[in-house]
Amino acid sequence: MKTIQNIVILTGAGVSAESGIDTFRDAGGLWEQHRVEDVATPEAFARDPDLVLRFYDERRAAIQTREPNAAHRALARLDAEWPGELLIVTQNVDDLHERAGAKRLIHMHGEHLNAWCTICDARMPWAGALLDRPACPACQAAGSLRPDIVWFGEMPYRMDEIYHALNRADLFVSIGTSGAVYPAAGFVREARASGARTLELNMEPSEGSHWFDEARQGPATVLVPAWVVAMLGG
Ligand code: APR
């Protein structure tokens, strides 16, 4: 078998589930009777900005009370110790990977703890609420800040870097994602086409499980540390 040097890891909501952060498609994907997709679009924000800002304010506050779990810590250890190229691409907008110590990390769907000014285009760390329409600290515009989150219909961040890494990967590992949302759901095929081995670690087979060379089922806090120990040679 080809020696593994370059690794790309895709993570989704399942990696943070055991830290107490709800996944999207468990629990019916509902928030106060709204479909999550209906509050995560530019159209929803234009139609009812208070609803969308309140949804994100609640989640931004909640993640600050959560802690990284054993899966985040194991991936941070792999990042620190893996001598080859490694990239963690997360669909998650929480900050648990970086709080666990991960460095080679891309938030392709944005970050809860950032705000984005739609007037001056500045992005800035933001831990508080946006519902009360604070002025942009960069340009002082009022009511111009939105969550720095990639909504449905918007372009995920840093796709060039992600595809570059996928095309160089010897191993692609998908952890805790349902494989329901593109472009991330297509990464396994991109990596395969470039000759990578592919592994899925998820609570249940995802929608794209059949694309992987191997799929293991179980909680991320069990599967990920065991896989990392094996990768680092015990
Ligand atoms: N360990 C491993 N996997 C888990 C765990 C766990 N403890 N708990 C849940 N899972 C799995 C579920 O079985 C499911 O397949 O994690 C997956 C979570 O899927 P989703 O809720 O669909 O989350 P995700 O794939 O990250 O969603 C992708 O959709 O709503 C958009 O932009 C949002 O980034 C998000 C994207």
Has 109 been annotated as catalytic?
yes
CA distance 135 to 114: 14
Ligand 1 site, residue 177, Cβ cutoff 6 A: yes
Ligand 1 site, residue 19, Cβ cutoff 6 A: no
Residue nearest to atom 7 of ligand 1 (CA): 219
Ligand 1 site, residue 13, Cβ cutoff 6 A: yes
The band of 27, judged by pLDDT with boundaries at 50, 70 and 90, is: low
Cα 23 to averaged position of ligand 1 atoms, centre (Å): 5
Residue pLDDT, tens place only, 219-232:
999 999 999 999 99
3-class DSSP state of 122? coil
Residue 133, by phi and psi: left (phi above 0), alpha (psi -120 to 50) or beta?
left
Ligand 1 site, residue 178, Cβ cutoff 6 A: yes
Q: What is the pLDDT of residue 32?
A: 65
Residue nearest to atom 10 of ligand 1 (CA): 14
Catalytic residue among 72, 97, 107, 109: 109
CA distance 50 to 73: 36
Q: What is the pLDDT of residue 2?
A: 67
Closest CA to 111 of 77, 158, 174: 158
Main-chain dihedrals φ then ψ at residue 113, nearest 5 degrees: -90, 25
Cα 44 to averaged position of ligand 1 atoms, centre (Å): 22
Q: What is the pLDDT of residue 1?
A: 56
State how far Cα 50 lies from the chain centre. Answer: 25
Residue pLDDT, tens place only, 175-205:
999 999 999 999 999 999 999 999 999 999 9
CA distance 53 to 155: 20
Ligand 1 site, residue 202, Cβ cutoff 6 A: yes
Residue pLDDT, tens place only, 34-68:
787 788 999 999 999 999 999 999 999 999 999 99
Q: What is the pLDDT of residue 30?
A: 67
Burial of residue 200, with CB atoms counted within 10 A of its CB: 0-12 exposed, 13-18 middle, 19 or more buried = buried
Q: What is the pLDDT of residue 26?
A: 66
Mean pLDDT score, 119-129: 97
Q: What is the pLDDT of residue 33?
A: 73
% of the chain with per-residue pLDDT over 70: 96
Residue pLDDT, tens place only, 200-221:
999 999 999 999 999 999 999 9
% of the chain with per-residue pLDDT over 90: 90
Provide the strand spans (E) within the chain: 7-11, 30-31, 34-35, 86-90, 105-107, 110-117, 123-125, 145-149, 171-175, 197-202, 214-217
Cα 178 to averaged position of ligand 1 atoms, centre (Å): 5
Mean pLDDT score, 125-148: 97
pLDDT at 102 over 90: yes
